[in-house]
A and B are shown apart, each in its own frame.
Chain A
Amino acid sequence: MDILLQQIINGLVQGAIYAMVALGYTMVYGIMGLINFAHGEVVMIGTLVAITVITLLVGAGVPPAMAGACGVVAAAAVCMIIGWSLERVAYRPLRNAQRLAPLITAIGCSIVLQNVAMMVWGRNYMTFPPLIAKTQFEIAGASFTSVQVLILLVASVSMGGLLFLVYRTKLGMAMRATAQNPAVAGLMGVNANRVISSAFVVGSALGAVAGVMVGTYYEIAHYQMGFMLGLKAFTAAVLGGIGNLAGAMAGGLLLGLIEALGAGYIGDLTGGFLGSHYQDIFAFAVLIVVLMFRPSGLFGEKTGDRA
């Protein structure tokens, strides 16, 4: 019982991080049908920028919590610029190209960003400085830390903010309209380029926050960390129904839970043959199963309602 609760807590925290990254994939896909495979690298750069800023500030005597906040802001600013530039430089010229071209470009961007990060931050693992005192709590035999609580809190606030933006503001309405019918949204006076740029910028900001969460949670970062994280977040987005915001959130949480529970019980299930380090197979097993049996995902939109 206690292992179940423990894995649920761990899964939710990991899932919240997946959800934050998955939103970046799903927003861009929802508006322009592009899978921005470089998004995982944007998250990685967010983590590394945060490390640099926080380490500098803490070294200068700034309190860690304050340094952490500055780190998040700096990471978000850098990631927003990178996200905006990716769209402007790499994807916009290919807007009317065949589908394969932007996909390959995305992979190319991903490699470029990784290599730039390697040149700036080096190839060694970096330690993410602690931002808050790590207190341990216990409930019904399961333990969780203040860091986990903070991650869930920040994720909730960020996602709430995103929902507000998309469902309660004029920019959000323009985003939804453009996703549904770009030509007609243009007739209404919506500048599609501006909407697409906003999707990249907002998604990258969420990715930066997620990057700081990953760093704080695992206390370690590396220039190649974006690849697996991006792939799993993409899986989460597909699981929820790519293009759908609620789907990305639910898909992220669900994938986190599946992984954590899988890792918790895989030893028992296979009689000790496979250990918890095999947890990655769950994410991709999920991806395969979803693609086989429900390619539109859990919240996937039916195509019938397009007028």
Chain B
Amino acid sequence: MSASHGQKGSPVNASSKEPLLIVEGLRVAYGGIQAVRGITFHIDAGETVALIGANGAGKTSTLRALSRMLDAAGGSVRYLGKDISRLPPHRLVREGIALVPEGRGVFPRLTIAENLAMGAFTRDDKPKIARDIEHVFGLFPRLKEREKQLAGTLSGGEQQMLAIGRALMSRPKLLLLDEPSMGLAPIMVQKIFEVIRTVAAEGMTILLIEQNAKLALETSRRGYVLESGEITLTDEAEKLLHNPKVREAYLGE
């Protein structure tokens, strides 16, 4: 890694103003092929930000680098003023970052209840964990009905609910969502996004990575458009929704 750490010396602004997450010049490469070519973006505390783009634009690579499932080839990732680009992956959740991975990644041979308990793996406060499980069941009543069932027996949509619920169980400060609509029936997509909006309204900071640009922008405050590994456009989500280029390329108009 050839990350630049120029950040450390720079004067610190009033900490309340600093974004929760600052990504600068992030690069991801597989062998010689650059999937992400030095992207820069930030997320303020409490906002939902969409990262949209076509298949292969580098969205999932970006998220994998953020969540430390792979090493970045360069750039820096600062979270709460701290460089997290070299933390081992299992430390991230302790810092308050939770990822809902692409394809859900539920543990198929653990029960729903156990999957949720895994989400709270780093916590020890049993009464609060129990309360949070009830909170998740409140968001997704379907999960409560199937509490003792193995997660592998759930439908794709239910697994997505479980994956989101599991991520919430760590009480994150930052929630990373990778393609939550992927492979789901439209009605299920609506339900999932309803919950995402509810969680956002409760004050959660969310980075939403989506191929479904319309839905993502409707759910977010701001958006970034990723094309061939570079951010080509950024604006308030509302404005991106009405941007002719975005409408043509991503909204199918």
| Cβ-defined contact, B90 with A191, below 8 A | yes
Provide the bound-state CA to CA distance between A307 and B160, in Å. 11
What number of A residues sit within 8 Å (CB to CB) of B? Answer: 21
| Cβ-defined contact, B117 with A307, below 8 A | no
8 Å CB contacts to B: which residues of A280-307?
A: 301, 305-307
**Which residues of chain A come closer than 8 Å to B150, judged between CB atoms?**
305
- Contact residues on B (Cβ < 8 Å of other chain), bracket: 20 to 34
8 Å CB contacts to A: which residues of B172-214?
A: none
Partner of B105, one of A170, A173, A183, A190: A183
Partner of B90, one of A180, A192, A301: A192
| Cβ-defined contact, B109 with A188, below 8 A | no
| Cβ-defined contact, B106 with A307, below 8 A | yes
Q: Does A53 contact B (CB under 8 A)?
A: no
Provide the bound-state CA to CA distance between A189 and B101, in Å. 14
Residue of A nearest to B156 (CB): A307
**Which residues of chain B come closer than 8 Å to A174, judged between CB atoms?**
118, 121
Partner of A189, one of B104, B108, B121: B121
| Cβ-defined contact, A173 with B110, below 8 A | yes
Decide: A177 near B118, CB < 8 A? Known: A187-B101, A305-B109. yes
Residue of B nearest to A176 (CB): B110
| Cβ-defined contact, B159 with A307, below 8 A | yes
| Cβ-defined contact, B90 with A177, below 8 A | no
B98 to chain A, nearest CB (A): 8
| Cβ-defined contact, A187 with B152, below 8 A | no
Contact with A along B75-116 (1 / 0, CB 8 A): 000000000000011111110001101011111111000100
Interface centre among A173, A184, A188 (most CB of B within 10 A): A188
| Cβ-defined contact, B122 with A180, below 8 A | no
**Which residues of chain A come closer than 8 Å to B170, judged between CB atoms?**
188-189
CB-based closest 3 A-B pairs: A189-B122, A305-B152, A184-B105
A-B contact pairs, 25 of them (CB 8 A): A170-B121, A173-B114, A173-B118, A174-B121, A176-B107, A176-B114, A177-B110, A180-B110, A181-B105, A183-B105, A184-B101, A187-B67, A187-B69, A187-B89, A187-B90, A187-B105, A188-B90, A188-B118, A188-B119, A188-B122, A189-B94, A189-B122, A189-B170, A307-B104, A307-B151
Q: Which residues of A contact B (CB under 8 A)?
A: 170, 173-174, 176-177, 180-181, 183-192, 301, 305-307
